[in-house]
Chains A and B, each alone.
Chain A
Amino acid sequence: MVFSSINFLYYFLPVVFLLYFTVPSRAKNLVLLVSSLFFYFYGEPVYLILMIAVSFSGYLHGLWINRAKDGRYAKLSLISSLFFGLAPLLYFKYTDFLIKNINFIFGLNIPALNLDLPIGISFYSFQILSYTIDVYKGNAKVQKSFVNFAAYVSLFPQLIAGPIVRYTAVESELVCRTHSFRDFAYGINRFIIGLSKKVIMANSLGELVDIMARSNEKAVLLYWLKAIPFMLQVYYDFSGYSDMAIGLGRIFGFCFPENFNYPFISKSITEFWRRWHISLGTWFKDYVYIPLGGNRNGTGKWLRNIFLVWFLTGFWHGAEWNFILWGLYFAIFLSVEKLFLLKVLDKTPAFLRHIYTLFFTLISFVLFNGNGLSECFHNFRGMFGFLDISFAGAETIYYLKSYSVTLLIAAIGSTPLPKTLVTKIKDNKTASIVLNIFEPLVQASLLLLVTAYLIDGSFNPFLYFRF
């Protein structure tokens, strides 16, 4: 089930609210667990068993690691938990990639398995790993209640597209959490903002990307009109989902970590990755980069660590070479920036740094969006006029005009400008009162508008489902 669906908004959510807020505190995790399992079952009936099995494995390994304390068996249990935690992810996500490449290299014809990727497996696998590693390192206490642990793994607000919530982030809230009108209202506001970002902005941008991708017109502008809206679409899609997850989490008494912080205002690629998919970046930093030694063992090993982490980051996003290349592309920029470019950028005017970051981020999304390497390079050639095509055609100009307001709103909305404006208004007492009157009305209007979009169209997939 996706958040941006009629069934979630008008059937699933009311029932869960009703159950959750009427049962006593000790039964709330059970309600969350059962509703989360149903939420998952709705979209992936068959793979529900897999998720329960992986959760149970993580739960048992936590107990074993804890029982073995610091001994040899603790390490063995940790290795076992890594194996059982990663095996389903590797099997379902990467087997066909492996087969395809073996076939290519050795000229074989091994048939692909064509497995459907279980929704959210990349997210919940990493959450379980963070738990067993943290228990092993003594950073987290073992969870003795399977209901609590399974509720953590399957928690529907963040189950299918993150943010990657580490066990330590919600450890205490799983046992004891408070609920308040303030949190409920904050959660609603955040949820509706995320829902609007997804349904109104991301889906509209997605339509434009789709139209451009299907067009037979050959024009330089068309390639740009495919690339820029796609970059914005991914931002609105993914950050919208994170907003919804954080909002729903708050309604149920959880404080999930932030996942986006206006990435497009970054002045370097390094800064961009501090603002984009924060939970994934910090996960790889804490569980791969730092354990490998980080930047402590000389430039050579530091570079190795960076390239390895970004290879894995790219590969996590998808089992295709363009995703790996996408990760390594960032590894190059991050290395070069840390080696010398950041010092140069510091002396460069801010607007040039913005242009530099946006341009190379945009290029990265062309790589990200390509269906295979040849399509990526074809798109690059189209964008930079190497295809011997005209600059613009009738269709491109028509859709540029048609979506100009959407693109403008999307661009402004991806900056802190609207938030700054609201904060400034709140500084004025009278204006703040007016704003407080309008805020609930705007929320209600947005919810109805989202409902209108959902009813009118069926273009509604979450991009991050495939991860």
Chain B
Amino acid sequence: MRDSIKNAVSAILFTIIIFGFSVGNIISPDIDISLSERRALAQAPKFTINALLNGDFFNELEEYTLDQFVLRDRFRDLKAFMAFGLLRQKDNNRIYIVNGNISKLEYPLNEKSVLNAADKISGIYNKYLANINAGYAIIPDKNFFLAPDNGYLAIDYGKMSEIMDENMANVKYIDIFESLSIDDYYRTDIHWSQDRLIGLADKILAGMGNSKKASEIDYVQKALYPFYGAYYGQAAVKIDPDTLIYLTNAALENARVFDHYYKEYGSIYEPDLFYGIDPYDVFLSGQKPLVTVENPESTTNKGLLLFKDSFGNSIAPLLLAGYSKITLVDLRLVSSDALDEFIDFSEYQDALFLYCTQTLNNSYSLR
């Protein structure tokens, strides 16, 4: 190819790209939500003279054009390919992949945050739970299984447990680290898979001094596919989706779920939410400040207060084997100071604090 032809091809290609995407961006309709990133995308900014002069308009315009760029997800794929494939980076935006399993770096250990979580739990115990049988368990995140053996950074889990142990004198510890393996978690998501938790539910029930077992209950597996977890969109790498399996039976289907915030009843499983922004919302409709699940077929009168993050939503239906009702409290959404406005603590015999290591390491969202 002669230089003159090369020059012409260069100029034409460049022009096609910048004009093509420019026109493409203008004519393509705006998208409200990115399902892969699980977030609302920026919309066209409002024009005001004030916003123009103080720079806000152009800043918002920048966010808008970035978010609404055509083929946005494909461009993110390309960047991930460059980072992982060509530059051989071990992680891309802190996301890493080991044998098709996606995880996110959680490093370093934030001792102050863990201490803050321990103080928060102790405070709740002292204020509300002095006469209640209380326990806590720490859910290891996926890094616990994936990071150390594959050359990724991992927090000092022993130190985390130690801090919790030293600062939670009246709340007994239920060690579940050894009861889990990486296979118990979704490959594309942060969470554990409910169908793998029956043994763990038994262990927690036993740890709480409850003689009932989830393993003695008959469940029917229901599968939802394809399940693209939270990490899938962040990784921007093609990986086979998971199957979201939930365990149900007549008792669970008939169980009543009361949302204290919206004052309305719902179901334990909401399969329709599988097709929303976060398919994990299938379990107890996702993040809610305060919900109570009542088991109509329970053979006990025991009540459990479950202080939890999102992991708790999928294990709560299995813990229902040992309780007539479970109230799930998400301290990221409701203040611990206001709990007695919603909860009559005399109705509960047990309280369980069940938090993932990532929540403890970033605990300042616990209110």
Chain B 89-132 interface mask (CB, 8 Å, partner A; 1/0): 11101000000000000011000000000000000000000000
Which one of B52-60, B187-195, B217-225, B332-340 is at the A interface? B52-60
Once bound together, how far apart are the Cα atoms of A292 and B82, in whole Å?
A: 52
B263 interface residue (CB < 8 Å to A): no
Once bound together, how far apart are the Cα atoms of A457 and B92, in whole Å?
A: 11
Contact A45 B53 (CB under 8 A): yes
Chain A 395-435 interface mask (CB, 8 Å, partner B; 1/0): 10010011111100100000000000000000000000100
The chain A residue sitting closest to B88, CB to CB, is: A405
Which one of A25-33, A180-188, A294-302, A329-337 is at the B interface? A180-188
Once bound together, how far apart are the Cα atoms of A182 and B8, in whole Å?
A: 8
* A-B pairs with beta carbons under 8 A, tally: 138
Contact B52 A456 (CB under 8 A): no
Which of chain B's residues 43-66 have a Cβ closer than 8 Å to chain A?
52-55, 58, 61-62, 65-66
Number of interface residues of A (CB under 8 A): 56
Tell which of B54, B65, B152 touches A45, judged by Cβ atoms closer than 8 Å: B54
Tell which of A7, A42, A444, A452 touches B14, judged by Cβ atoms closer than 8 Å: A444
Contact A402 B10 (CB under 8 A): no
Contact B151 A395 (CB under 8 A): no
Q: Hey, which chain B residues are within 8 Å of A286, CB to CB? A: none
Once bound together, how far apart are the Cα atoms of A365 and B79, in whole Å?
A: 30
Once bound together, how far apart are the Cα atoms of A452 and B11, in whole Å?
A: 21
Which of chain A's residues 1-32 have a Cβ closer than 8 Å to chain B?
1, 5-7, 9-11, 13-14, 17
Contact A440 B79 (CB under 8 A): no
Contact B108 A398 (CB under 8 A): no
Given A46-B53, A184-B11, A433-B1: A406 in contact with B87 (beta carbons within 8 A): yes
Residue contacts A-B, CB under 8 angstroms, 8 given: A7-B62, A45-B52, A45-B53, A181-B11, A184-B7, A405-B89, A455-B75, A456-B93
Contact B62 A5 (CB under 8 A): yes
Q: Hey, which chain A residues are within 8 Å of B62, CB to CB? A: 5-7
Q: Which residues of B contact A (CB under 8 A)?
A: 1-11, 13-15, 17-19, 21-22, 25, 52-55, 58, 61-62, 65-66, 69, 72, 75-76, 78-80, 82, 86-91, 93, 107-108, 151-153, 236
Contact B79 A455 (CB under 8 A): yes
Q: Which residues of A contact B (CB under 8 A)?
A: 1, 5-7, 9-11, 13-14, 17, 42-43, 45-46, 181-182, 184-186, 188-189, 192, 200, 204, 215-217, 394-395, 398, 401-406, 409, 433, 436-437, 439-441, 443-444, 447-449, 451-458
Given A395-B107, A398-B153: A10 in contact with B7 (beta carbons within 8 A): no
Once bound together, how far apart are the Cα atoms of A7 and B58, in whole Å?
A: 10
Tell which of A46, A403, A443 touches B13, judged by Cβ atoms closer than 8 Å: A443
Given A436-B6, A457-B93: A444 in contact with B79 (beta carbons within 8 A): no
The chain A residue sitting closest to B13, CB to CB, is: A444
Contact B25 A10 (CB under 8 A): yes
The dominant DSSP class at the A interface is helix
Contact B10 A14 (CB under 8 A): no
Q: Hey, which chain A residues are within 8 Å of B236, CB to CB? A: 456
Contact B89 A6 (CB under 8 A): no
Q: How far is the CB of A227 from chain B (nearest CB, A)?
A: 20
Q: Hey, which chain A residues are within 8 Å of B87, CB to CB? A: 204, 403, 405-406, 409
Contact A440 B10 (CB under 8 A): yes
Q: Hey, which chain B residues are within 8 Å of A217, CB to CB? A: 108
Q: Hey, which chain B residues are within 8 Å of A456, CB to CB? A: 75-76, 79-80, 93, 236
Residue from B6, B61, B151 having most chain A Cβ neighbours under 10 A: B6
13 additional A-B pairs beyond A7-B65, A185-B6, A394-B153, beta carbons within 8 Å, are A6-B65, A6-B66, A6-B69, A11-B65, A45-B52, A182-B7, A398-B151, A398-B152, A403-B89, A405-B87, A452-B75, A452-B78, A455-B72
The chain A residue sitting closest to B23, CB to CB, is: A14
The chain A residue sitting closest to B61, CB to CB, is: A7
The chain A residue sitting closest to B25, CB to CB, is: A10
The chain A residue sitting closest to B147, CB to CB, is: A398
Once bound together, how far apart are the Cα atoms of A185 and B2, in whole Å?
A: 13
Q: How far is the CB of B237 from chain A (nearest CB, A)?
A: 12
Contact A14 B18 (CB under 8 A): yes
Contact A452 B108 (CB under 8 A): no
Q: How far is the CB of B40 from chain A (nearest CB, A)?
A: 16
Q: How far is the CB of B319 from chain A (nearest CB, A)?
A: 37
Contact B108 A216 (CB under 8 A): yes
Q: Hey, which chain B residues are within 8 Å of A14, CB to CB? A: 18-19, 22
Q: Hey, which chain A residues are within 8 Å of B52, CB to CB? A: 45
Contact A45 B22 (CB under 8 A): no
Q: Hey, which chain B residues are within 8 Å of A398, CB to CB? A: 90, 151-153
Q: How far is the CB of B58 from chain A (nearest CB, A)?
A: 5
Once bound together, how far apart are the Cα atoms of A14 and B2, in whole Å?
A: 27
Once bound together, how far apart are the Cα atoms of A1 and B65, in whole Å?
A: 14
Contact A10 B153 (CB under 8 A): no
Contact B93 A439 (CB under 8 A): no
Tell which of B8, B55, B80, B93 touches A181, judged by Cβ atoms closer than 8 Å: B8
Once bound together, how far apart are the Cα atoms of A236 and B96, in whole Å?
A: 27
Tell which of A43, A181, A204, A437 touches B4, judged by Cβ atoms closer than 8 Å: A181
Q: Hey, which chain A residues are within 8 Å of B2, CB to CB? A: 436
Given A449-B82, A455-B66: A401 in contact with B90 (beta carbons within 8 A): yes
Q: Hey, which chain A residues are within 8 Å of B93, CB to CB? A: 456-457
Q: Hey, which chain B residues are within 8 Å of A440, CB to CB? A: 6, 9-10, 13
Q: Hey, which chain B residues are within 8 Å of A181, CB to CB? A: 4, 7-8, 11
Once bound together, how far apart are the Cα atoms of A6 and B72, in whole Å?
A: 12
Once bound together, how far apart are the Cα atoms of A189 and B13, in whole Å?
A: 11
